Amino acid sequence: LSWKLDGLTIVLTYRDGQLFSALTRGNGEVGEDVTNNARVFANIPLTIPYKEELIIRGEAVIRYEDFERINRLLPQEEKYKSPRNLCSGSVRQLNNKITKERNVYFYGFALVTSVDLGFQWRSAQLQYLKDLGFTVVDHTIVTEATIEAEVARYKEQITSNPFASDG
């Protein structure tokens, strides 16, 4: 069980241990190249020890405190309606200095492609991504006996999270 973060889905590709590309989901088939901006996200490793191709899907988000800070600086007619809208605009900036100032964070939630890693469980994928230096979405292993209590715990926690969640 994990958060469904309310941000912008980003797919990161690493080759030879280097961040090679960052793409938005786009129309579902073709995404926008936002590699230049992803390089200045607050928490994306630019290099990793894994040298084969590695593709990770995750969510770019802006925390509530940064959303509020940025909106305080803007005139009323330019204020953003939600952290998601601010994140989307920030990731698509032509000037990545603006992206950097807005503190965009990346939370990995899926290992899409890797060579010979063969993870059977999502929790093992997420632990491996953490071991490589990625921030991953908070998650909990649940069973039929624990799922209701864990869903209730997540529901209780949603109002104190530093980021938006839509599920």
> d(Cα 24, Cα 106) in Å, to the nearest integer?
12
Q: Which uninterrupted H or E stretch holds 156?
A: helix 147-157
Phi, psi (degrees; rounded to nearest 5) at 66: -75, -40
Q: Which residues lie below 8 Å from residue 33, measured CB to CB, with a gap of 6+?
A: 21, 22, 23
Q: Which uninterrupted H or E stretch holds 84?
A: helix 83-91
Q: From the candidates 4, 51, 97, 130, give the one annotated as an active-site residue.
A: 4
- Bridge partners, residue 55, by sequence: 13, 113
Residue with token string 């020890």: 49
Q: Quick check: is 79 catalytic?
A: no
- The catalytic residue positions are 4
